[in-house]
A = this chain, B = another copy of it.
Amino acid sequence: MINKGLGSAVHIVQMIIAEVLKRGGTAVDATAGNGHDTLFLARLVGSEGRVYAFDIQKKALESTKKLLERYGAAGQVTLLNTGHEEMDKLVPEPVDAVLFNLGYLPGGDHTLVTSAGTTVTALKSAVELLRPGGRIGMVLYTGHPGGNEELCAVEQYASGLKGAGFNVIKINYLNRTAHAPVIILVEKAGDLLESQAATQNS
């Protein structure tokens, strides 16, 4: 992994996710976009693992598919051309990690953005799907219309998760403009390694 440093919110989230997502694991990319996070997850889980990648835009999934094929990682990824609020219906197994990189598709139509309602629906499903020790990482942007509302809704829901069962942290930049990205991380309490061992023994 190239160290892009703490200046990249995506890098910070990837570092924290990488700690719990191992070879053979299962992950969701809730916002495939151009496929960079999908590829990141696919490489961590390897050919024995599984990544479910959602995007409402066909163009995004086409870019993702191309990127995965270029790196020989398409086999372990299920591409789903639908909104991530369908996650509870379409992901058939518990997961170790879920990534959200919200806002609009880079290089795509800037009027098509994720929104507070569907994002929170998807986040609730992600929390349900998460294995003990698993983590959800979200990068949120407030520079576009609706971005602030989305951050507030996510923060309100995540803050309400019970302290004994979940660790919920917020990461923000102190020396940047008000529109710097914000990170929210949710961890379901428990030890991932123990839970993986239990799965392997069952």
Contact = CB atoms under 8 A, between A and B. Distances in A.
A175 B159 contact: yes
Q: Count identical subunits in the complex.
A: 2
A174 interface: yes
A7 B189 contact: yes
A5 B163 CA distance: 13
B3 A187 contact: no
Dominant secondary structure at the A interface: mixed
Nearest to A158: B174
Contact of A3 (B133, B158, B166, B173): B133
Contacts of A131: none
Interface in A148-202: 155, 158-163, 166-176, 184-185, 187, 189, 191-193
A171 B9 CA distance: 12
Interface of A: 3, 5-7, 12, 15-16, 19-20, 133, 135, 155, 158-163, 166-176, 184-185, 187, 189, 191-193
